[in-house]
Amino acid sequence: MEILEGINARQSIRAFKPDPVARDVLNKILQAVSNSPSYTNSQPWEVVMVMGKKKDELGRKLLELARAKAPTSPDLPMPKGWPAALEERSREHGARRLTTLGVARDDEEGREKLRLMNFEFYGAPCAVFLFIDGSLGEWSIFDMGLFAQNLILAAHSLGVESCLQASVTNYAPEIKKFLGIAESKKLVICVSLGYPDKKAKLNTYRSLKEKPDEFTRWYE
Ligand SMILES: Cc1cc2nc3c(=O)[nH]c(=O)nc-3n(C[C@H](O)[C@H](O)[C@H](O)COP(=O)(O)O)c2cc1C
């Protein structure tokens, strides 16, 4: 697939078919992602692929925690607040998702159901966890953003779609314990991977994006 075409067509997927992604397809994706750029070629990424029964078991544990509204402890803290324009885009994004599904804003149960879908990886057969060493800081997080973007684009080029999921990282200590990962590592992001359920309502809307003129200044 041509790169520009892939960038333009990719979108987050929030309903997957249960069909597994073959190991050779996943290996092809990982091979491509290994070519990601990083600060002084430090390659900080540590990748954990979770599939099959192990993924189901982890999903059940996370769902239990999320349902009980267990205390959260992400390794990357949320900002205390967002600038107004960003806050508005985020609110609009949430509202559009609810409208697409026909869930009313005051339908607490419907909204909760939607939130909880995160913790079952939206039904994806593969959950990818991206870690870095706990001593690393902003530049390595930056590298991980590039790595994650390459991951989802490489997957997309092979018909495998994705959803990045910061929400899952709320339970970083429990995930590390479950996976046998040292507490000192930082969980940066979870990426659900699989084949999209194209008929699912959740996959029918595209996020609104600002136009280049709205975020770019030119100087000559
Ligand atoms: C760092 C990051 C964290 C995200 N976390 C979640 C998440 O927890 N749950 C979710 O459904 N989508 C999550 N997303 C997906 C965004 O909502 C999505 O990228 C955005 O709305 C733009 O839509 P698009 O990916 O279809 O272009 C996350 C995206 C990023 C980059």
Say yes or no: CB of residue 114 within 6 Å of ligand 1.
Answer: no
pLDDT digits (tens, 9 = 90+) for 33-63: 999 999 999 999 999 999 999 999 999 999 9
| Domain ranges for the chain | 3-73+86-205
Distance, CA of 29 to chain centre: 16
β-partners of residue 48 are: 129
Q: Are 163 and 192 in contact (CB under 8 A)?
A: yes
Residue 128: CA count within 13 A, CB half-sphere: 26
Say yes or no: CB of residue 67 within 6 Å of ligand 1.
Answer: no
- What atom in ligand 1 is closest to the CA of residue 11? 26
- What atom in ligand 1 is closest to the CA of residue 207? 23
Task: Return the CATH superfamily for domain 3-73+86-205.
Answer: NADH Oxidase (3.40.109.10)
Compute the distance from residue 208 Cα to the ligand 1 centre, in Å. 12
Among candidate residues 151, 155, 156, 158, the one with its CA nearest the CA of residue 189: 151
pLDDT digits (tens, 9 = 90+) for 59-101: 999 999 999 999 999 999 999 999 999 999 999 999 999 999 8
Residue nearest to atom 28 of ligand 1 (CA): 164
| pLDDT at residue 179 tops 80 | yes
